[in-house]
Amino acid sequence: MKKFFTAVAIVLLALSLFGGSANVSFINPLGPTIIPIAPILSGALKGTVPIKISLWKSTDEAIALLSKGTADFAVLPVTLGAIVYNKGIDLKLLGVYEWKVFYLVASKEASFTGWKDLGGKSVYTPEGRGQTVDVLMRYMMSKSGVTPDRDVKIFYAPPQEIVSLFKSGKIQYAALPEPFVTMAISGGSGRIVLDFQKEWGREMNQPERIPIAGLFVKKSFFDENPSVVKEVEDLFSESIKWMNANPNKAIRLTIPYLKIPVPILEKSLKRMSFYYVPASKCEKEVSAFLEKINELYPEGMPEIPDKGFYAN
């Protein structure tokens, strides 16, 4: 009987720690950002907190999961996190972990010594107006005296389509994230001509990096379960360290989820940068980035998040 009551007490304690849920829910994009969490997803790394990971395929799906309260933690683009925060979904940014992924590629025949070389030409970039690399590209063009949409035509398409057009020689320039950069230039069909992270760092007098994606937590969960939040955050950081120490192993752990050839992922990972920086240590950098997004694309981000956005 004593053992029975001890077991019940342990279960009740676990339930109280996990907010009354058998699992902590964690959502992550379906794509290369699986690689940093592959050790957790595969079970190679485990904490004492049970984590249920779901993979989202679109920003609409991610927002729906957050709106319904079915996600305690979320990996999101920093810009998306800021937008949904300003729409009333009370998130907190725990930290940033993706810092390098965007490049401009040019075909073998195309020249590029600066943005003015694109005068009278076209550049393709994924999805739609206002995504991170689109805003960065427009900013850099304007700083170079090139007017986007007038001097240079900007077209949007799914990244897989852009890669196909680029490799077939139908387009000369594309601003892409990895691993689509590696896909586009594989086989000698083109080359990287600009590293957006380096350009941004020089422009802002900051490290050559961009706060691209981060780990978020629902504010209610953050307030009610501080010890669990700390453990999940530590496990997430440890998973990224494991991935960086064992990149090839981490990539192979993603094979059940990603339909991208392993050699492409191995090459692209060398041009991506993942390491965890808590919000308390990068708040100013994130804020400066969001202020620039707001300045350049106010219709997409009409408001800059307040201090409540950051977990400090």
Number of folded domains that form the chain: 2
Q: Quick one: 170 and 303 in the same domain?
A: no
d(CA 154, CA 142) in angstroms, rounded, equals 13
- For 41-53, b/e burial (b = at least 16 CB within 10 A) is beeebebebebeb
Query: 10-residue block means of pLDDT along the chain (312 residues)?
Result: 38 39 85 94 91 91 89 95 92 97 96 95 89 89 93 95 96 96 94 96 91 96 96 97 96 91 95 97 95 86 94 88
- Please check whether residue 92 is in contact with residue 123, taking contact to mean a CB–CB distance below 8 angstroms: no
Residue 178, φ and ψ in degrees, nearest 5: -70, 150
Q: Quick one: 145 and 220 in the same domain?
A: no
Residue 216, φ and ψ in degrees, nearest 5: -115, 160
Q: Quick one: 52 and 117 in the same domain?
A: no
Q: Quick one: 90 and 106 in the same domain?
A: no
Q: Quick one: 140 and 194 in the same domain?
A: yes
Helix (H, G, I), strand (E, B) or coil at 261: coil
Helix (H) or strand (E) holding 84: helix 78-86
Q: Quick one: 94 and 132 in the same domain?
A: no
Residue 204 has a pLDDT of: 87
β-strands 91-100, 213-218: how paired?
antiparallel
Domain that holds residue 133: 102-204
Q: Quick one: 238 and 225 in the same domain?
A: yes
Residue 194 β-bridge partners: 104
Instruction: Give the list of residues 6+ apart from residue 145 with CB closer than 8 angstroms, or none.
Output: 116
Residue 97 has a pLDDT of: 98
